Amino acid sequence: MTDKATKTENTFLEDTLTQPLKKMPLPQGPGKLLESLPQKPQNRYRFLRSIGFGGMKTVLLVHDSDTDRDVAMALMPDFKERSGFDQERFVKEALLTAKLEHPNIVPVHDIGVDSSGSPYFTMKYLHGQSLEQLLRKLKKGDPESISRYGLEKLLQIFTRICNAIEFAHSRGICHLDLKPSNISLGEYGEVQVIDWGLARPFNTIETHITKQLPDGRRVVSGTPGFMSPEQIHNSVDIPIGKRSDIYSLGCILYAMLTLSYPLEEYDTDETFRRTVTGNIPAPSKVAPEDRHVPSAVEAICLKAMAPRQTDRYRDVRELREDIFAFQTGFVPKAENASALKHAGLFINRNLLIILLLLCLGLTAALVVVLFK
């Protein structure tokens, strides 16, 4: 895996797109959203250590004296230099995530502004590792990770990711930045989708997915290799919505199958071109030689990653049901399987019953022969 999969805001010139550039107004400031937040209670949070940083956030581990627990606090250390657009985006991430109460979505506890005027929000402190870290260990051949996380286990994790996104979609929200580094894996089997900074309600996505710079360049927010073609186009003719997240889910499944990110060997512009045209090698062509990629799961992955929205799954439930079909010995809808394969899977599912019936039949035949 390469550093290209780290979330960036990528400057993408107009001449690299197949669609003409839309003129988009620059954000005019945070408005009243920031002003409506409560002031952080004095001495409630005690700093313990830094956890990490990325994008416009710094995440700290702090102790909440009110609840006597450790929580993660996200804040904007350079908020005074940040545009109103970025400040609103930060606050909206917290407000939006707080509304998504689901076992597979990281919960938000508190939101406000500190004494300097910087917005912040606190979340559950997640122990464990990211899916990105796990996949790196698997690729390096870490024995413990290999023994614990076979394909069956990875598909269980994938199903829980699907559960979170299906729930978000039911609330009218798209994540728009799904990738392994935004999936947290707990020490006791917890799976949680994090970093909802690019998430948007369905009806406001088009005006927030990109920004127009004064020099005419466009900033595309997202992660190359995990962004859907329509996120790159950002055209009103190709709406961004549920199937954009389904594309990214397909990319996560691709990474699970291959232990590599889609198109990771290419630069950003070439990755965007190949994403738009669908010129992405099948997982079986990319996976290590000793890693088996089931044809059924590959078919599911490629259907989710189809360049045309109408060729993808209609919703996350349909995708999840195809994964479940594979797990339970049925043929997924995405796989154009032969009648012979259907028959073979039927036998595998009912082998015990078939053997029992054969035994009964042989016993009955033997009884008939003996009493003739």
Active-site residue numbers? 177
Angle CA 137–141–143, to nearest 5: 90
| Adjacency order of strands within the sheet including 119-124 | 45-54, 57-64, 69-75, 119-124, 108-113
8 Å CB contact between 37 and 91: yes
Task: Name, in order, each residue with C-beta under 8 angstroms of 354's C-beta and a sequence gap of 6 or more.
Answer: 347
The two three-digit tokens of residue 128, written as one number = 């464990």
Q: What SS3 class is residue 42?
A: coil
| Residue 74 bridge partners (DSSP) | 59, 121
Amino acid at site 187? E
d(C-alpha 16, C-alpha 272), whole Å: 9
| Adjacency order of strands within the sheet including 191-193 | 129-130, 183-185, 191-193
Tokens 């995990």 belong to: 226
Task: Name, in order, each residue with C-beta under 8 angstroms of 14's C-beta and a sequence gap of 6 or more.
Answer: 20, 21, 216, 217, 218
Quick one: DSSP state of residue 20? P
8 Å CB contact between 195 and 164: no
Quick one: DSSP state of residue 242? H
Q: What SS3 class is residue 172?
A: coil
Task: Name, in order, each residue with C-beta under 8 angstroms of 34's C-beta and a sequence gap of 6 or more.
Answer: 87, 88, 91, 113, 119
**DSSP states along 98-112:** HH---TTBPPEEEEE
Angle between helices 242-258 and 131-140 (to 10 degrees): 30
